[in-house]
Amino acid sequence: VQRRIPDFLQSVSLKYVKLGYHYLINRGIYLATIPVLVLVFSAEVGSLSREELWKKLSEDACYDLATVLSFFTVFVFTISVYFMSGPRSIYLIDFACFRPHDDLKETKEQFIEMARASGKFDEASLQFQKRIVKSSGVGDETYLPKAVMSDENSATMKEGRLEASTVMFGALDELFEKTRIRPKDVGVLVVNCSIFNPTPSLSAMIINHYKMRGNVLSYNLGGMGCSTRLIAVDLARDMLQANPNNYAVVVNTEMVGYNWYPGWDRSMLVPNCFFRMGSSAVLLSNCRRDYRRVKYSLEHLVRTHKGADDRSF
């Protein structure tokens, strides 16, 4: 069997080589300074016998005090610079998930009955959705916007904005109340919604509603699928690494009404069965004073993009 030559340009393993090189370059000064200090100290101490060392410590301590202080000053300074120049710790202070009003709650059976009553699906489409819903993991306490089953077209910009304001502001109101953080204290805002991307953006809607400060770093992600949840957290983390003593809010949502498909194409019917109404908001911080009240600390985030592979695209 002829083995293929590995494509090193596409190999995921190369990222570990890059990480090692990056670590070596960024910490080269410490890797060079500390061994030199240790060698100098060891050479000085190693050249003395045990009796000479005790004599030097007991009789000549006053003369070598300046040398000892200088050594420990350089050592402490190097260690301090090492920890201060390293990546900042990113904390998750708290999060909130929006729960709509109980009037919008639908069981799986009610969902199928409402779809049948709408008259927009044939029997084959209804049976297909019924099978998908039962195997999707969606429970009997999920929520749908009222516009979904209305006689009029719900996939409009107006309905999308109405749903977006309801779910996003609901999650953010709860988050700010739980954390006691003012909207003006937020320095980074990342909003993620793959399908609904209006102009002005969803992030602009939030900034206008809460009257956030003028220098807030605002980002609106769209069209990147479900993986954007991690991408949004990754972006917020990078922004906090570059902006000390700051807060970041990450909002994730999808617009069910705007994405609703009233037809018979089975590939288009699948999102009807999986997506439901809701939103989440997360507050991240790089402030050391928040350490005692945080819920989690962001340790690792690994992302591999396979978009260059035609099989994954």
Tell me whether strands 186-192 and 296-298 are parallel, antiparallel or unpaired: unpaired
Question: Is the separation of the CB atoms in 121 and 115 below 8 Å?
Answer: yes
The range of the structural domain enclosing residue 215 comes to: 91-298
Among candidate residues 90, 98, 99, 86, the one with its CA nearest the CA of residue 283: 90
Domain membership of residue 55 (yes or no) is yes
- Asked whether residue 190 falls in the same domain as residue 104, the answer is yes
What pLDDT digit, counting tens, does each position of 51-90 carry?
665 666 555 555 556 666 777 787 787 777 666 666 778 9
Mean pLDDT of the chain: 82
What pLDDT digit, counting tens, does each position of 206-235 carry?
999 999 999 999 999 998 888 888 899 999
Span of 31-45, 70-84, 183-197, 239-253 with lowest mean pLDDT = 31-45
Question: Looking at the DSSP assignment, which residues form a beta bridge with residue 159?
Answer: none
For the chain, give the percent of residues with pLDDT over 90.
Answer: 34
- Asked whether residue 160 falls in the same domain as residue 31, the answer is no
- Asked whether residue 74 falls in the same domain as residue 96, the answer is no
Contacts with 200 (C-beta within 8 Å, 6 or more apart), sequence order: 208
Structurally, how many domains does the chain consist of? 2
- Asked whether residue 29 falls in the same domain as residue 95, the answer is no
Domain membership of residue 9 (yes or no) is no
Question: Looking at the DSSP assignment, which residues form a beta bridge with residue 253?
Answer: 279
pLDDT band at 1 (very low <50, low <70, confident <90, very high): very low
- Asked whether residue 131 falls in the same domain as residue 246, the answer is yes
Domain end marker among 38, 60, 86 = 86
- Asked whether residue 63 falls in the same domain as residue 157, the answer is no
Kindly report the CATH number assigned to the domain that includes residue 146: 3.40.47.10
Domain end marker among 37, 71, 86 = 86
Domain membership of residue 4 (yes or no) is no
pTM: 0.73
Look at residue 81 and give its three-state secondary structure: helix
Question: Is the separation of the CB atoms in 250 and 281 below 8 Å?
Answer: yes
- Asked whether residue 169 falls in the same domain as residue 242, the answer is yes
Contacts with 122 (C-beta within 8 Å, 6 or more apart), sequence order: 264
Question: Is the separation of the CB atoms in 298 and 283 below 8 Å?
Answer: no
- Asked whether residue 164 falls in the same domain as residue 147, the answer is yes
